[in-house]
Amino acid sequence: MKWFGVVSACVAFVLIGALQALYGPALSAFRADFGISVPAAGLALSAHFVGGIAGVLGYARSPWPGTGKLAASLVAMAAGAAGVALAPTWPLALVAAFVAGVGFGGIDYGCNDMFARAFQRRGSAMLNVLNAHFGVGAIAGPLLIGLLGPDRYPAIFLGFAAVSLLLLAGLRGTAEAPTAEPAPPPPRRASGNEGCWPRSSCST
């Protein structure tokens, strides 16, 4: 895997970590914009995580190549995030949150699978690095919406959509088949009396 693929995957994990953490701080703005109750606003997070499950299952069972599935996941997350930002009604916002969740699940599963295959012996260490970026996003997302204000959530979600599309250039072509491990050398064939033990048992 090229270095830009590693960087793109880590940025994607920052995005998915931040995206799932944005819904809670945005609840008050959802209520104000759509005139809904707190439980109804909380359905956005539920829709996102249901979509995440669908994204994982869809990625695992899809016959598409890995690059195609990662690209589709990024597009789904971008479309869903933009939909949450621009939805005129709450039901449409919930549908958009579900679509964003589908992309979330596909990126989560796909990047973990990609790193495990690409790095092989260093897979555990690189998976730790990758998933640490999810935590970075989970902290940065609420800080960002707290800094800008919950009422600015449309701009934040649109920004996430734009970055998701930019990552297409970095992630495409990175889900390659793993490099084959070098074959062990053939066993050395003994010649003459070499390897006989005890020596007295060897023929002359």
CATH of the domain at 33: 1.20.1250.20
Q: What is the pLDDT of residue 1?
A: 67
What are the tokens at 195?
A: 């390897």
> Per the structure, how many domains does the chain have?
1
Query: Per the domain annotation, does 75 fall within a domain?
Result: yes
Among 62-66, 100-104, 136-140, 187-191, the minimum mean pLDDT is found in 187-191
Q: What is the pLDDT of residue 189?
A: 52
Neighbouring residues of 127: CB distance < 8 A, sequence distance ≥ 6: 112, 115, 116
Q: What is the mean pLDDT of the chain?
A: 85
Query: Per the domain annotation, does 106 fall within a domain?
Result: yes
Using CB atoms within 10 Å of the CB of residue 75, give its burial: 0 to 12 exposed, 13 to 18 middle, 19+ buried: middle
Nearest to 19 by CA among 116, 98, 95: 98
Q: What is the pLDDT of residue 159?
A: 95
Rounded Cα distance, 94 and 41, in Å: 9
Looking up tokens 């599309």 gives 165
Nearest to 168 by CA among 73, 88, 48: 73
Q: What is the pLDDT of residue 76?
A: 97
Query: Per the domain annotation, does 191 fall within a domain?
Result: no
The three-class DSSP label of residue 184 is: coil
Task: Pick the more confident residue, 178 or 29.
Answer: 29
Phi and psi at residue 115, to the nearest 5°: -65, -40
Query: Per the domain annotation, does 121 fall within a domain?
Result: yes
Rounded Cα distance, 109 and 26, in Å: 26
Q: Are 5 and 174 in contact (CB under 8 A)?
A: yes
Q: Are 81 and 158 in contact (CB under 8 A)?
A: yes
pLDDT over 90 percentage in the chain: 65
Q: Which structural domain range is residue 149 located in? A: 3-178
Q: What is the pLDDT of residue 200?
A: 43
> Mean of the pLDDT values across residues 101-121?
91
Query: Per the domain annotation, does 188 fall within a domain?
Result: no
User: pTM for this structure?
Assistant: 0.81
Q: What is the DSSP letter of 188?
A: P
Q: What is the pLDDT of residue 194?
A: 45
> Mean of the pLDDT values across residues 160-175?
80
In this model, does residue 98 exceed pLDDT 90? Answer: yes
Query: Per the domain annotation, does 201 fall within a domain?
Result: no
Q: Are 55 and 76 in contact (CB under 8 A)?
A: yes
In this model, does residue 61 exceed pLDDT 80? Answer: yes
Q: What is the pLDDT of residue 12?
A: 94
Q: Which amino acid is at 36?
A: I
Q: What are the pLDDT digits (tens) for 114-141?
A: 888 888 888 788 999 999 999 999 999 9
Q: What is the pLDDT of residue 124?
A: 85
Query: Per the domain annotation, does 65 fall within a domain?
Result: yes
**What b/e string do you get for 120-144 counting C-beta neighbours within 10 Å, with b at 16 or more?**
eeeeeebeeebbebbeebbeebeeb
Query: Per the domain annotation, does 90 fall within a domain?
Result: yes
